[in-house]
A = this chain, B = another copy of it.
Amino acid sequence: MNFIVYLAGEIHSSWRDELKAKSQTLQLPVTFVGPMENHDRSDNIGAEILGEQPNPVFHDLAASNINNLRTEILLKKADLVIALFGETYRQWNTAMDASTALAWNKPLILIRPEKLHHPLKELSEKANVTVISVDQAIKALAYIFEQS
């Protein structure tokens, strides 16, 4: 049995690489999927495929057509979603991915620094597990497959 895990969160750091490496070390039966991590490509993919758009709002709409299509297909395949929040970005798209998972009855591990506990309190309460680091997330993930 193999499990698919969608990694939702900012695409500015390499947190996914860390998480995948740890999972690989533990040989977890997991395939990771996620968004386009090249930030510029992600922002411009709409214009690239659909052509130049009349203004920045439509530029973003076109990009989101393409990015949301990718998210929808991969998120649908996921057995679990791990969403990471940090202090820097607005992350409304991360909140959307995490909430969509829960609304689709897919379990969610939420990674967030403790200082963000207040603005994330509602999402955290609904998540299956709230942790403060990739390390804790990996432990919760590994436990799913652990045989005593």
Contact = CB atoms under 8 A, between A and B. Distances in A.
B65 A125 contact: yes
A49 B143 contact: yes
A96 to B, nearest CB: 4
User: Majority SS of interface residues in chain A?
Assistant: helix
Contacts of A97: 99
A131 B49 contact: yes
Interface residues of A, number: 77
Given A72-B128, A136-B49, A144-B69, A57 B117 contact: yes
Nearest to A146: B36
A73 B136 contact: no
A37 B144 contact: no
A91 to B, nearest CB: 7
Given A99-B100, A100-B103, A122-B93, A3 B69 contact: no
Contacts of A3: 73
A58 B58 contact: yes
Given A91-B119, A96-B98, 11 more contacts: A49-B136, A49-B140, A54-B55, A65-B125, A69-B129, A70-B143, A73-B144, A77-B79, A91-B92, A93-B122, A100-B103
